């Protein structure tokens, strides 16, 4: 049984996500549809890239992933289908796939060319669904598109390192449900640049010189609970996806706030890591 996942910025209020599912079931009654997220910030390529990169590996090989972000067809925003790491991805060629493609080379990329046979003002429903169902039936990518070699890169995907390797300049690519901010600095990249040196991380007027392995390491469990004062404390971790994350311990954006609100940080803000001479 084929698995088709959905990642969009359509939200839950409107009919769009439900209509896509209905269209898929109309073509394939025995398919499994999984919602990864419909809460991507509108047109946020970096958010969508981060979420799909970290979600798709949990699915079995052969899964088909529809990504409905900034998908309106125009001369600068073509549609593609990609076979990568044993998975199929259907999306606009707007940079979404470039985060995954920096670590794994695609096995095949085609620029979808079935549009002339489909009248559509809603390409995720009318085009992406057709392609996904074609693949789910065992069809090949060459039937729905012309092979291409490259995809559009996403800006600010990779952090910058200065010439003397003393500074990393990264940016915020995602803010999670807890208000924690995720940067584009991965653990391996950080450690390869660090080379064992001490460091100081700067985010606006906040600075940190320790990276924890898990959130609770910020708590001094030797103290009685009433004396710890750890909730709402700022910290830096490499999260479960190995991205550098600035967080607040046990944050809640609807009550005490999170790192994004309390530190005044938002998408694409700059994060700086300075490496110190020992």
Question: Which single residue is written with the structure tokens 């599912």?
Answer: 21
Give me Rg for the CA atoms of the chain: 21
* pLDDT at residue 183 greater than cutoff 90: yes
pLDDT at res. 85: 96
d(CA 91, CA 71): 7
**pLDDT tens profile 22-53:** 999 999 999 999 999 999 999 999 999 999 99
Q: CA dist 277 to 27, 165, 187, 188, 274, Å? A: 62, 11, 20, 21, 10
Mean pLDDT score of the chain? 90
pLDDT at res. 98: 87
Question: Which single residue is written with the structure tokens 């809460």?
Answer: 39
d(CA 243, CA 156): 15
User: How many helices, marked H, and strands, marked E, lie in the chain?
Assistant: 8, 15
- Provide mean pLDDT across the span 184-205: 94
| pTM for the predicted model, two decimal places | 0.88
Tokens of 47: 């958010």
Q: Give one DSSP letter per residue of 192-229, joined into a string.
A: HHHTT--EEEEETTEEE---BSSGGGGS-TTS-HHHH-
**pLDDT tens profile 136-174:** 999 999 999 999 998 888 766 789 999 999 999 999 999
d(CA 229, CA 207): 19
Judge contact between 9 and 40, C-beta under 8 A.
yes
d(CA 110, CA 145): 5
Closest CA to 68 of 32, 122, 104: 122
């Amino acid at each position: 049984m084929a698995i088709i996942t959905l990642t969009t910025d359509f939200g839950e209020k409107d009919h769009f996500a439900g209509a896509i599912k209905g269209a898929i079931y109309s073509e394939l009654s025995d398919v499994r549809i999984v919602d990864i997220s419909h809460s991507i910030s509108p047109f946020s390529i970096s958010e969508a890239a981060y979420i799909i990169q970290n979600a798709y590996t949990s699915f079995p090989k052969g899964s088909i992933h529809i990504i409905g972000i900034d998908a309106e067809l125009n001369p600068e925003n073509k549609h593609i289908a990609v076979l990568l790491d044993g998975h199929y991805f259907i999306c606009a060629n707007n940079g979404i796939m470039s985060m995954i493609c920096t670590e794994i080379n695609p096995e095949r990329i085609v620029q979808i060319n079935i549009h002339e046979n489909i009248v559509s003002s809603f390409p995720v429903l009318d085009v992406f669904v057709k392609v996904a169902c074609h693949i789910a039936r065992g069809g090949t990518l060459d039937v729905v598109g012309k092979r291409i070699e490259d995809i559009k890169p996403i800006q600010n995907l990779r952090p910058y390192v200065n010439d003397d390797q003393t500074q990393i300049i990264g940016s915020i690519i995602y803010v999670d449900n807890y208000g924690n901010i995720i940067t584009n600095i991965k653990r391996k990249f950080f450690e390869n640049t660090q080379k064992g040196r001490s460091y100081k991380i700067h985010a606006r007027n906040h600075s940190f010189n320790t990276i924890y392995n898990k959130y609770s390491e910020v708590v001094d469990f030797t103290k009685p609970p009433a004396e710890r004062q750890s909730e709402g404390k700022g910290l830096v971790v490499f999260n479960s996806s190995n991205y550098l994350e600035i967080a607040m311990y046990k944050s809640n954006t609807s009550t005490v706030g999170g790192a994004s609100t309390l530190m005044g940080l938002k998408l694409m803000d700059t994060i700086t890591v300075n490496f110190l001479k020992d």
